[in-house]
Structure 1
Amino acid sequence: MRKNEVVTSSHSARPEAPAIRLIATDLDGTLLRDDKSLSERTVAALAAAERAGIEVFFVTGRPARWMDVVSDHVHGHGMAICANGAAVVDLHADGEFLMVRPLERPAALAVVEALRAAAPGTSFAVELTTGIHYEPHYPPFFLDPGASIATAEKLLFEEAPGAAAPVIKLLAQHPELDPDAFLATAREAAGHLASFTRSSPTALLEISGLGVSKASTLELCCAERGITAAEVAAFGDMPNDIEMLSWAGRSYAMGNAHPDVIAAATGRTTENNEDGVAVVVEQLIAEAQAVRNA
């Protein structure tokens, strides 16, 4: 397939390419439609992939407690990579944590200090394995009415190392800056302390432990299964998907994707509202069947 070719119809199996054994897909703006629903076509494509022996991983920036949008469509493995790689959860067991790759609190505090200096007006939220908490000026999370409100320094305080719930993500929001400019500023100021990315159309950054990303955690999960990058097809639409799309042997930017995502992917599909993931998954299934019948 040519670089960034838009996939609109089935293609014949390519014997030189390894068979796809795992599909890794982002959720918002990718698998989900803008109303956060899954189309019947997408549901059918995911089920067909599992029947064809292709595992499906949901790989998202969402926390585990926001996975109800796909929980009814999890098949054999039941696993999801959440919080941009900071957590692996079992959706068959009510989001039980199977792996946590935390942002250590001293590093998080250093990031807060650096961003307060580099981008005055930044407000923060702290995502723990137990829920989210945020500063007074941070846009409220209406889905989390139990959140506490305090300064980031107080939210990140713990009596002794390991005494409090792990931090899986720090969020930083700026009311005025351009989103990409905010990301560049943050990486310059504190990129040596943590991993920075974004998935929102607003100036909202998602901050994980250094080296933690969708890609690095997906690679760990694949290694446990003996699956190589060449055997993975990945889908995404925003900068937090770039490392994953660059790592996977085959990767598809959505028709609605950020320009940097389009540049990172090896292929392109239609928009999320046009079942772009299902379009490609159907082709992958047809390819696998053609190889078996050859």
Structure 2
Amino acid sequence: MSATPSCLPTAPELPSGPVDIRLVVTDMDGTLLDSTGGIPGGLWPLLTELRRRGVLFSPASGRQYATLARQFAEAADGMVFVAENGTYVVRDGVELSSDPLDAAVAARIVGTTRRLAADGVDVGAVLCGKKSAYVERSDEAFVAEASKYYTLLRTVEDLTTVDDQFLKVALYDFGPVERTTAHALAPFTSTHQVVVSGEHWVDVMNPTANKGAALRMLQRELGITPAQTVVFGDYLNDLEMLDAADWSFAMTNAHPDVLRRARYMAPSNTELGVLRTIARLLHLPTS
């Protein structure tokens, strides 16, 4: 979802000189990934330069850890992955933090999904565990959508019988998720995080779980301040993460609420906004 040009907030100008940056955190879909859904080729030499300068690069996504690790396999050493919307943070295969969801709550969300489907909503649930993600809806169209974000994905007969430690439940609605499915999850909003993470996705997590909480934990562990942190995002699951960085950027293609929350704006993901902005902040050459 994008704001019209007349609705875009006025963003301050970036400083003319380089700034002291130690951590760069970026969302994936609609932010870092290009129009084909791939990682821009220019990121790889940029990552080499960031390492040389002692700047840590961290993908932060609703995607599964295994999916992120596969996407960044050629540069994953030492990289911190903020996966599953902040509920699971991993570096070099070692868990740094997690915020597991109670199995009984997960079962209630699954029940809500089943009732929506019985009422004609084209929706399905992905139960996101540490060992794998799980679905009980097995049609090709739904599995294809879930597989984009969950490399480890198992089809089971009954999601409520899965034995794993759960991080969140993600619901995929083939229609606009804010119109139907998100409203049906309203009973959970008083006790849990219900966050729309894309046009068709909504996630339910613990109330303490979000990308911002994970980022603040990481800053404390590494001794990095918000003033040394750059964050890029485009959707509602990025809001708390933007609050954790002085250098918070909304992509110009971002949700209007994200555009209002961020301090700065970056060119859209289709214009390689993340790469161009990092290069500008650190005074790197651009091709």
Q: TM-score, normalised by structure 2?
A: 0.81
Which residue identity lines up with residue 47 of structure 1 in the other structure?
Answer: T
Aligned length: 267
Match of 1:172 in 2: 171
Structure 2: unaligned runs, 5 residues or longer: 1-7
Which residue identity lines up with residue 59 of structure 1 in the other structure?
Answer: A
Which residue identity lines up with residue 205 of structure 1 in the other structure?
Answer: V
Quote how far apart the aligned CAs of 1:105 are.
0.8
Q: Is the 8 A contact 2:58 2:81 kept in 1?
A: yes
Match of 1:99 in 2: 97
Trace 1:77-156 onto structure 2 (pairs within 5 A): 77-90=78-91, 92-93=92-93, 96-113=94-111, 120=119, 121=121, 122-136=123-137, 139-140=142-143, 141-142=146-147, 147-150=154-157, 154-156=158-160
Q: Is the 8 A contact 2:9 2:259 kept in 1?
A: no
Q: What SS does the aligned partner of 1:156 have?
A: helix
Q: 2:32 aligned with 1:27, yes or no?
A: no
Q: Is the 8 A contact 1:195 1:212 kept in 2?
A: yes
Match of 1:60 in 2: 61
Trace 1:177-192 onto structure 2 (pairs within 5 A): 178-182=176-180, 185-186=183-184, 188-192=186-190
Q: Is the 8 A contact 1:114 1:189 kept in 2?
A: no
Q: Is the 8 A contact 1:103 1:210 kept in 2?
A: no
Q: Is the 8 A contact 1:233 1:250 kept in 2?
A: yes
Pick closer, same or farther for the CA change 1:247–1:117 going to 2, 3 Å: farther
Quote how far apart the aligned CAs of 1:3 are.
5.8
RMSD: 2.9
Trace 1:157-236 onto structure 2 (pairs within 5 A): 157=161, 164-176=163-175, 178-182=176-180, 185-186=183-184, 188-202=186-200, 204-236=201-233
Q: 2:265 aligned with 1:268, yes or no?
A: yes
What are the Cα deviations for residues 90-139 of structure 1, in whole angstroms up to 9, with x where unaligned? 2x44xx43432111112223334456668954532211111121133771
Q: What SS does the aligned partner of 2:161 have?
A: coil
Match of 1:290 in 2: none
Quote how far apart the aligned CAs of 1:4 are.
4.6
Segment drifting more, 261-270 vs 117-126: 117-126
Pick closer, same or farther for the CA change 1:113–1:145 going to 2, 3 Å: closer
Using the alignment, how far apart are the partners of 1:187 and 1:137 within structure 2?
A: 22
Structure 1: unaligned runs, 5 residues or longer: 159-163, 288-294
Pick closer, same or farther for the CA change 1:263–1:283 going to 2, 3 Å: same
Q: Is the 8 A contact 2:116 2:181 kept in 1?
A: no
Using the alignment, how far apart are the partners of 1:63 and 1:147 within structure 2?
A: 13
Match of 1:13 in 2: 17
Q: What SS does the aligned partner of 1:200 have?
A: coil
Using the alignment, how far apart are the partners of 1:210 and 1:110 within structure 2?
A: 16
